């Protein structure tokens, strides 16, 4: 049975207390940045929370060679080593991740209370960033880049994507969007979206062959680790549910946000049979589900029930993520959370190395 850490309960209680500020037109910016600051503090101060947490901690404490790292995280790890404070690595990456993400949420001009709640509760976004640090910083930079690109700001978008690539090379695969982005502004017929998903499912072997022939990430396909199916189902249901509501209720959806989310679901469909570590190529696009769900709720804003159901589902997803972490076969990668300054490691350092 899962015993939920008081850290997560307290964090969620504080976030819910801030959300009314983000929902009000007069205080939306204050609420957004207060909520963002809370997310930043909770992420930056973490200890023993995140799937690869201790791998990154070793990078920042002279325990591993950094030659295999992308340049940006390697530079941050060297900075943490030079200062003799490994937590500096987590603070800087948390600052980059949360500040970029909240900037993208603000630029979307949607209800920031819902945006913040979805950011924290949807799987593979905030809590996932505790572990897969490099890629999620790249994802946050990609989110801001797409917000700039939507406004026709191509040069800032290019710069942001190049910086993101310095954190995780996989982002380079999506640089062509800087040229192809006009295609994302269009709403396509219902049957196009519905037909592409099964096509992606059967096209997985072709994608594997093409990437292997190009010498791109071929080793990822050789090491099958499984997993990710339940998370895939969540995003598939969001996608199909939105399509169904769009068809039945004639929703006024933002094609830009929906198409970007759809790319994520399509990529997840394409690679899910090879394991979650391959399907992580879709993680760049899945956060656009935040905006899609916001648009759906906005369509039904005069009805209380959709909002209540959405809030309850988000809470369920947040605590479900903790349950999934607790049941991981390798280790519980979230529920051991504690503040770094209260951890045994920090206390030893504070006592001059004497326990």
Which of 252, 143, 135, 265 is CA-nearest to residue 198?
265
Split at pLDDT 50, 70, 90, the class of 349 is low
Tell me the average pLDDT across 16-26.
Answer: 95
Predicted confidence at residue 355, as pLDDT, reads: 42
CA–CA separation, 305 vs 294, rounded Å?
A: 15
Split at pLDDT 50, 70, 90, the class of 253 is confident
Split at pLDDT 50, 70, 90, the class of 351 is low
More confident of the two residues 343 and 264: 264
55-98 pLDDT, tens per residue? Answer: 999 999 988 889 889 999 999 999 999 999 999 999 999 999 99
Structural contact between residues 267 and 281, judged by C-beta atoms closer than 8 angstroms: yes
- How many Å is the maximal CA-CA distance in the chain? 67
End-to-end CA distance of the chain: 33
Q: What percentage of the chain has pLDDT greater than the value 70?
A: 92
- Beta-carbon count within 10 A of 214 CB: 9
Residue found by looking up tokens 């101060």 in the block: 45
Highest mean pLDDT out of 51-60, 132-141, 213-222: 132-141
DSSP string, 56-110: HHHHTTTSS--TTS-HHHHHHHHHHHHHT-THHHHHHHHHHHHHHHHHHHHHTTS
What burial letters (b/e) apply to 240-274, b meaning 16+ CB within 10 Å? eebbebbeeeebebbebbbbbbbbbbbbbbbbbbb
295-341 pLDDT, tens per residue? Answer: 999 988 888 888 999 999 999 999 999 998 988 877 888 999 999 99
Task: Give, as one character, the DSSP assignment of residue 339.
Answer: E
Helices (H), 168-254: 177-180, 190-202, 204-213, 218-222, 229-249
CA–CA separation, 74 vs 89, rounded Å?
A: 10
110-129 pLDDT, tens per residue? Answer: 999 999 999 999 999 999 99
Residue 305, burial from CB neighbour count under 10 angstroms (0-12, 13-18, 19+): exposed
């Amino acid at each position: 049975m899962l015993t939920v850490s008081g850290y997560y309960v307290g964090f969620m209680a504080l976030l819910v207390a801030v959300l009314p500020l983000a929902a009000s037109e007069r205080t939306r910016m204050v609420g957004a940045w207060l909520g963002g600051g809370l997310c930043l503090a909770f992420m930056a101060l973490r200890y023993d929370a995140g799937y690869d947490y201790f791998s990154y901690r070793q990078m920042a404490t002279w325990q591993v060679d950094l030659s295999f790292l992308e340049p940006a995280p390697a530079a941050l790890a060297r900075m943490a080593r030079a200062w003799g404070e490994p937590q500096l690595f987590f603070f800087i990456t948390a600052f980059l991740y949360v500040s970029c993400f909240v900037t993208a949420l603000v630029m979307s001009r949607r209800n920031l209370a819902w945006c913040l709640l979805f950011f924290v509760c949807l799987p593979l976004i905030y809590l996932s960033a505790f572990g897969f640090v490099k890629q999620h910083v790249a994802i946050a930079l990609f989110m801001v880049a797409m917000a700039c690109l939507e406004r026709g700001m191509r040069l800032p978008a290019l710069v942001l994507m190049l910086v993101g690539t310095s954190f995780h090379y996989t982002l380079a695969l999506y640089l062509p969007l800087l040229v192809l982005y006009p295609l994302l502004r269009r709403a396509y017929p219902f049957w196009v979206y519905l037909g592409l998903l099964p096509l992606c499912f059967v096209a997985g072997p072709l994608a594997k062959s093409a990437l292997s022939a190009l010498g791109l990430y071929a080793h990822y396909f050789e090491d099958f680790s499984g997993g990710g199916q339940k998370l895939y189902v969540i995003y598939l249901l969001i996608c199909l549910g939105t399509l169904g509501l769009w068809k039945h209720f004639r929703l006024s959806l933002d094609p830009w946000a929906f198409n970007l989310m759809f790319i994520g679901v399509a990529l997840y469909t394409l690679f899910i049979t090879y394991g979650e570590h391959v399907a992580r190529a879709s993680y760049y696009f899945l956060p656009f589900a935040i905006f899609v769900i916001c648009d759906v709720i906005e369509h039904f804003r005069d009805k209380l029930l959709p909002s209540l159901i959405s809030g309850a589902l988000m809470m369920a997803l947040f605590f479900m993520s903790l349950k999934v972490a607790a049941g991981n076969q390798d280790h519980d990668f979230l529920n051991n959370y504690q503040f770094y300054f209260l951890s045994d490691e920090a206390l030893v350092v504070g006592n001059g190395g004497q326990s």
